[in-house]
Amino acid sequence: MMIDQPKARVLLLESIHPDAVSRLEEDGFEVESVSSALDEAELIERVSGVHLLGIRSKTKVTAKVLEAADSLVAIGAFCIGTDQIDLATASASGVAVFNAPFSNTRSVVELAIAEIIAMTRRLTEKNSLMHAGVWDKSADGAHEIRGRRLGIVGYGNIGTQLSVLAENLGMSVSFYDTADKLALSNAHRCASLDELLEISDIVTLHVDGRPGNAGFFGADQFARMRQGSLFLNLSRGIVVDHLALRDALRSGHLAGAAVDVFPQEPKGRGDEFLSELRGLPNVILTPHIGGSTEEAQSDIGGFVANKLAKFLTEGNTTLSVNLPGVVLPEQPGLHRIVHVHLNTPGVLAQVNRILAEHNVNVEGQLLSTRGEYGYLITDIGKGYSDSVLEQLRAMEQTVRLRVLS
């Protein structure tokens, strides 16, 4: 598929930062920005003719959406997670997916630290009493975080940075991760989730939203936590049973909780928020703002928009979530063919045979594979017949072929 670059259409949803709009407009793209998320039916209506789609965490890009996306080349998740995107279908369609795995890490970590301190000092309750006109000067139930043990479930980018900052504040840190992760500083790796729950004063979740994680933290896990401990979830709403959390808080088994993500969230700003956790004392509820600082959103906007633009114009797949990472320096005066294909032996030889049979000289070429798919960039001279592209598209391994000017 050849794209007229200045007329490439971009659809950005969920109030993506203006820096993303500016970056994409720099390349002459036609950008439409929408403030809210779209449900499946709405997105199916809007996605036809769109080359680049930008979303955050609320919009689901399903197989039906991808089927309706007749021009879609790439999807940008302007956040960390990509579980809201059907990655298997995107790959099978040759649609690249990019995210921002590092840009809002600091923002999430700082929110977690702030909430740990607020709950440990019971600031939420003191604040509510003061606003109600009650002067309750007392140390009862208020503690320092120094010397307390933080248990981190999920030791990825956020978990590791939180681990370091917590230790700098005088906390002891334990962590549990299903993957083999290197402990930073003096952090203690737990052999099981149960071990972490039994020794931690504060438990914080930093796991992804893959379907297998749905409901994995429930009544059994809360029961194993220490009496009077604190709980945080700034990861994905589906991983926690909120009814079980409410019961653990009401019974007094947990002394407090901070929750930023929910199984069902309102579509837009100002919509009513419904939750079993509303009204509970020493519970901090925030509207999915873990990464919502101006600094993080600006960084994410520029980072993901740049990845989308580079993929569309140059075929660059560095840090793509679902396609092999390939970067081939541009050479002036050439055409660039990008070829997504099934990862089977002989694809490169077959491509080069077709080019050689038509006397097309290869000026630059780079191939990489990942799992089921391969990604090939080939730079050639501008003098070639349409039958070259027809034969490349007709290869049984071809998933998608694009020609870049």
Any idea which fold 1-104+294-323 has? Answer: Rossmann fold (3.40.50)
Q: What is the pTM of this model?
A: 0.82
Selecting among 288, 335, 339, 341, the annotated active-site residue is 288
Q: In CATH, what class is 105-285?
A: alpha beta
Selecting among 56, 236, 335, 400, the annotated active-site residue is 236
Any idea which fold 324-405 has? Answer: Alpha-Beta Plaits (3.30.70)
Selecting among 265, 276, 314, 330, the annotated active-site residue is 265
pLDDT in tens, the chain (405 residues): 344 344 799 999 999 999 999 999 999 999 999 999 999 999 999 999 999 999 998 899 999 999 999 999 999 999 988 999 999 999 999 999 999 988 899 999 999 999 999 999 999 999 999 999 999 999 999 999 999 999 999 999 999 999 999 999 999 999 999 999 999 999 999 999 999 999 999 999 999 888 888 899 999 999 999 999 999 999 999 999 999 999 999 999 999 999 999 999 987 788 899 999 999 989 999 999 999 999 999 999 999 999 999 999 999 999 999 999 999 998 899 999 999 999 999 999 999 999 999 999 999 999 999 999 999 999 999 889 999 999 999 999 999 999 997
Judge whether 265 counts as a catalytic residue.
yes
Encoded amino acid at 280, one letter: L
Residue 85 and residue 155: Cα distance in Å, rounded?
23
Judge whether 236 counts as a catalytic residue.
yes
Judge whether 330 counts as a catalytic residue.
no
Residue 204 and residue 69: Cα distance in Å, rounded?
38
- Which residues have a Cβ under 8 Å from the Cβ of 33 and sit 6 or more positions away? 12, 15, 16, 21
* For the chain, domain boundaries: 1-104+294-323, 105-285, 324-405
Confirm whether 1-104+294-323 and 105-285 share one CATH topology. Answer: yes
Contact present, 109 and 162 (Cβ < 8 Å) = yes
